[in-house]
Structure 1
Amino acid sequence: MISRSIITLFIFAALLGVAGCNDTSAQPPVASDQASEKSSDHAADESGAEHQGEREADSSDHDDHDAEQAPDRVHLTSAQRNRLDIKVGKAKSGSATAVITAPATVRFDSDRVARIGPRLNAKVLEVTSDVGTRVEAGDTVAILDSVALGKAKASYLTAAARYGTQLAAYQRNKKLAEDKIISEATLLESRANYSQARAEREAARAELKLYGMSPSAIQDISTSNGTPLSRYPLTTPMTGVVQQRDLVPGQSVGANDTPVHVVDTSRMWVMIEADEQSLPRLRTGLSVELHVRPLPDQTFTGTVDWISSELDPQSRTVRVRATVDNPDGLLKSGMFGTAQIRTQSERQFALVPIDAVQSIGERDIVFVPGDEAGAFRAIPVVLGDEGGGQVEVRQGLSSGDAVVTSGSFDLASVLTAGGRSAAHGH
């Protein structure tokens, strides 16, 4: 019995040892599971880092795209440049309130207009200069025939001949009187005849001058080589262009007729209708800029040289005259336009056309050219007063800076469209 108990006790102890061994061997699997979990977490971390890198790379790509579509830059393609009318000019210096804007009309400078006609009755033989012909001072514009001029030339020739005869007689008698060959009375009579002949010749010469003949032309009468004395060349007293020609061969014209007009269009008058409130700021010598409807891209400059002393009773405007240079003849009499008279002002700012300024959001911007063709940059500006189609730029732009003066609305449209495209790209 004892032996069985001992044997049973040994068996029970052996079983406990086996169980203990089994429990100890179960621990590594648990550790293995934890390592597996850590490995999984590490892999997840690496995967997350890779995704983060991809997101950062993707963000970098978008940043590059945003840089191309920068919110203050526009780059036009060649097709866009051809389609859009973009003009660049320089910002002027001045004050918008110092500009007087008024309607204006172009006129010929009256001091540069010659209305030509005969100074006696005549008949037209030939017209040598048609309308549009440029003539120089002294050129013949028509050839006339005048009976009265023929008679005046004949009288001059007679007077000149008698003068020559009496001059010779007086010189001869003067010598004879010195030699006591003739009496003093004869000498006095000869001198009287000579003086009368000289007076008659001078009177005939003066009459021909009144008819427009030059001293050289009068001198050449006696050597006309068969040219009729009645022949009358009508000449222009100034250089210019024939503006009017109311002459045809066979036509009779009188002393009061001026059928040919010659004008010098290198300088024109601009008649400006300024409002009466502008009178305190008006004076002669002020600079004027003229824009006319048929030539919207041209600017003509001039100077105020006259201010009327009375107001128009109906319109309550004062007439102001300016002389404007017109070397290329682009200005035509009768053109309507707008004149800007620049008065003096102590305040000086950069001035741009009102249409050059665009509003994007809460910002006022103007466009300036970039470093290459088709590139433009929007810059924010602080605006001042407006006047005469101009606006003051008090901050953001300086006078003389290049700025887009026409087409800024199109650039703003391209800019905002590019911004929306960039936003949708995300």
Structure 2
Amino acid sequence: MSPVPTVSLPDRVQYKKHRRPHVVLLAAVSTFLLAACDDGGSADPSPVDEHEGEAPVVEGGVSEVHLDSTALALSGVVVALPESVGAGGLPVTGNITYDQNRVSHIGPKTQGRVVELTVEVGSRVDRGQVLAHLESPEVGATRAELHEAEALLEIAQENYEREGRLEAQGISSRRELLDAEAELRRVQARLASAQERLRVLGADVHDEGGHFDVPSPFDGVVVERHAGRGEVVGPTDQLFTVADLSRLWIELDIYERNLNRVERDQPVTVTTTAWPDRVFPGRIVYIADIVDSQRRTVRARVELENTDGALKPGMFATALIEMADGARVIALPRDAVQTVDEQQIVWVLGEEAGEFIVRPVTLGPELPGGLVEILSGLDADEPVVVVGAFTLKSELAKGDFGGHGH
């Protein structure tokens, strides 16, 4: 089989220069190629491709497909320039999570044994409400010191008052009065020390023995419970997680190329799979100062009101960041993108007639009209296969790629 003639450089450059937005049928392209073959035209040196070297390593090391003129005419493949879509809003994805200022992982401040649990997962609790009762040897010992200090304080106070009366009558010396005052101050300090240690341990000074409670730090919902009755726990253990779910965060991934279009306080509308007919409004409150080196994205945070509890931490969500700059993005039909060796790829025209080259691309979110945004890997003026990409993928899988014909 004779090789398919290549397209001469002037013709190819002219094709890209016109940038015609309408679809170019490959049947017409193949007719042009046959005419070029009859004229005996030869290919001029190929222009430098700025995407050269980006083709992925596919199975067998092959990253292109060649079709002869007949196969080209019968393939149904359609080539067009990528669409330029107005970006009235920037669609991004993210995950709903707790407002980290409204969630607390709660545990005891000292080692103890769980005596009783007073709440279950899902319980709504108020600030200061007891979640569990515990007993601790350390709390018991500190409380004993407190009671001892209270008794000694009573004695020291009486002794000081007696020495004061005797000193006034000239019976006792001034030194004895000062000694009584010093003892009173020591006992008062000892009492204050015991009270402070109980406070630090989270124990009430009015309780008895080693008993102490674990309270909720704010109003919220018990979303996790890891404690069991009779279990011995310590300061490193988390017994409960309490969260205020009336306000949540959604953490968005902003691609680096879109970073200049995003700023704090921009309005955002959020939708979820669970509530497809509802829109949850919010605003960007934080944009990270570093770029994820692997994903090439920047994390942005949006605060959402959730007074009715419809949103749940862990939900996947889609957000539309409102834009006012009239920016446009490159988009292709979703079927124009195929997966080869776990890479998202499209097909661009090669330098030879009937040659289609694999081009790896990075996808953005899906857009209305069955389109998907192309974040990187393709230029706006590059002809690309928009219909028949799966056919070319099937040809690639056959393994008959060395020749120019089928």
Say whether the fold is shared (TM-score over 0.5): yes
1:278 aligns with 2:258: yes
**Partners in 2 of 1:170 and 1:285 — Cα distance?**
66
Give the drift of 1:288: 1.5
1:282 Cα deviation from its structure 2 partner: 2.0
* Number of residue pairs aligned between Structure 1 and Structure 2: 248
Secondary structure at the aligned position of 2:157 is classed as helix
2:185 matched to 1:205? Answer: no
State yes or no: 1:123 paired with 2:113. yes
Give distance in 1, aligned partners of 2:262 and 2:248.
Answer: 20
Q: Does 1:288 align with 2:246?
A: no
State the SS of the aligned residue for 1:171: helix
Q: Deviations over 1:341-382 (max 9, x none)?
A: 22455x7xxxxxxxxxxxxxxxxxxxxxxxxxxxxxxxxxxx
The verdict on how the C-alpha distance between 1:343 and 1:192 changes in structure 2, with shifts beyond 3 A counting, is farther
Which residue of structure 2 lines up, in the alignment, with residue 99 of structure 1? 89
Rg larger in 1 or in 2?
A: 1
Q: Does 1:169 align with 2:159?
A: yes
Q: Does 1:233 align with 2:213?
A: yes
Q: Which residue number in structure 2 is paired with residue 371 of structure 1?
A: none
Contact 1:96–1:390, Cα closer than 8 Å, also in 2? no
Which amino acid is the alignment partner of residue 155 of structure 2? T
Q: Give 1:232 shift.
A: 1.9
- TM-superposed CA distance for 1:145, in Å, is 1.6
Deviation at 1:167, TM superposition (A): 2.3
Per the TM alignment, residue 172 of structure 1 is displaced from its structure 2 partner at its CA by 3.0
Give the CA deviation at 1:119. Answer: 0.8
Question: Are residue 137 (structure 1) and residue 127 (structure 2) matched?
Answer: yes
Matched ranges for 1:143-182 at <5 A: 143-182=133-172
Q: Which runs of 4+ in 1 moved over 6 A?
A: none
Distance 1:302 1:389 in 2: 21
Relative to the length of structure 2, the TM-score reads 0.58
Return the alpha-carbon distance in structure 1 between the equivalents of residues 105 and 209 of structure 2.
Answer: 25
| Structure 1, unpaired ranges of 5+ | 1-94, 222-227, 348-386, 392-426
**CA RMSD between the two structures:** 2.2
Aligned equivalent of 1:323, options 303, 317, 324: 303
Q: In structure 2, the residue corresponding to 1:329 is in which secondary structure?
A: coil
> Which amino acid in the other structure matches residue 188 of structure 1?
L
Q: How much does 1:390 deviate?
A: 7.2
Structure 2: unaligned runs, 5 residues or longer: 1-84, 327-364, 370-406
CA distance in 1: counterparts of 2:86 and 2:247, whole angstroms: 28
1:11 is matched with none
Tell me if the contact between 1:163 and 1:194 (Cα under 8 Å) persists in the aligned partners.
yes
Task: Provide Cα deviations, 1:92-138, integer angstroms capped at 9, x if missing partner.
Answer: xxx96352211110001111112111111111111110000101011
* Map of 1:309 onto structure 2: 289
User: Is structure 2 residue 241 aligned with structure 1 residue 251?
Assistant: no
Whether 2:314 is the aligned partner of 1:334: answer: yes
Contact 1:99-1:388 within 8 A present in 2 as well? no
Secondary structure of 1:272 counterpart: strand
Give the Cα–Cα distance (whole angstroms) in 1 for the partners of residues 153 and 262 of structure 2. 62
Within 2, Cα distance between the matches of 1:284 and 1:170? 66
The code of the aligned residue for 2:134 comes to L
Output one character per residue of 1:197-219: Cα deviation in whole Å (capped at 9) or x when no partner: 11111111110011113xxx32x
